[in-house]
Amino acid sequence: MSKHFFALIFSFLFASLTYSQTSTVLIRDGDDFRGSIRSIKSETVVVSRQNGEYIESQRVLTHIRNYSSDGRECETITYAPDGSQQKREVQVYNEMGKLVEWNSYDADGLLVRRKLNSFDEGGRITQETTLNGDGTVQQRKVLIWSSTKDKILEIDTYDGEGLQIRKDVSRYDNRNKKLIWLTEEPSQKRSKQTFDLNSSEPRLQEYVGYNANGSAASTHVSSNTAPVQQIEKTNYNEDGSVQIKLTEHREFDSHQNRIKVSHLKLNKDSGVLEPLYITYNTISYY
């Protein structure tokens, strides 16, 4: 949830600065892929070590994503390992690339969850409402913008009963050109997300989650050197020792879309990152 939530924060923040009205939407809120995409086929292989060499298993289909020709609708179908369909999701965007509606269906085609976004007169998102399949409210997020309408200052999250369950507050470090989001959740759970704004296409970010005693519970650090991005995720024990360390090594095509993601895990005995599985994205463009 946290990863998806901050991806939305990031896209919402820069939406008013980077999106322009065109007949074909090339950049979409909350979508990791960009451009005039027709379809994406995602396949995964498991990596094992045999006779001292790393061997990839046969590719297994996990997702197929289809885009409309104008880029304003995206359908994602998720598959189980046996090839059966697990679920289907449909995202609908407006002419500015902002997410208007998201619908999730189960394997039988029944609506499970729905999200609807509201906007102000300037096209800035002000509220995200999540509904259950029966239409009842599951969650509601209210976005508070600055008086100049160029920054999101706060995001308040409420459950279906109207009880606040989360607060996200932004802080700008103008000297170092960084955006910092501080999050508070029940049970004194806190986290901090830092985005580097020095790049025209900011991907550099750092996430730190904290235990109730103030010690670090987990960190996610993303470093970017086009056309490769590496993300390190570390979970800690309460005494500060490393519990698990994972690394994602992402490779991009000329359109800055991910075509390969290698997932690695640190072997604490040898100190070596060992591959676990790899995701391949086969992308076709209009």
Chain segment 181-194, per-residue pLDDT in tens: 999 987 778 999 99
Top-ranked range on mean pLDDT: pick from 84-93, 186-195, 234-243: 84-93
Length of the chain: 286
**Residue pointed to by tokens 């939407």:** 25
Q: State how far the alpha carbon of 56 is from the alpha carbons of 63, 155, 258, 264, in Å.
A: 19, 43, 19, 13
Its domain, for residue 25, covers 2-285
pLDDT at 198: 78
Residue 193 near residue 206, CB atoms below 8 Å: yes
Q: Is the dihedral of CA 264, 193, 145, 201 positive or negative?
A: negative
Query: Quick one: which of 173, 123, 113 has its CA closest to 143?
Result: 123
Q: How many structural domains is the chain composed of?
A: 1
What type of residue is 71? G
18 pLDDT exceeds 60? no
pLDDT at 7: 46
- If you average pLDDT over every residue of the chain, what do you get? 89
2 pLDDT exceeds 60? no
Query: Quick one: which of 97, 50, 11, 34 has its CA closest to 275?
Result: 50
Between 26 and 1, the more confident residue is 26
pLDDT at 201: 56
pLDDT at 199: 65
- How many whole angstroms separate alpha carbon 124 and alpha carbon 209? 29
**Residue pointed to by tokens 């997702």:** 63
Q: For the domain that residue 143 is a member of, what is the CATH number? A: 2.40.160
Residue 55 has what DSSP assignment?
E
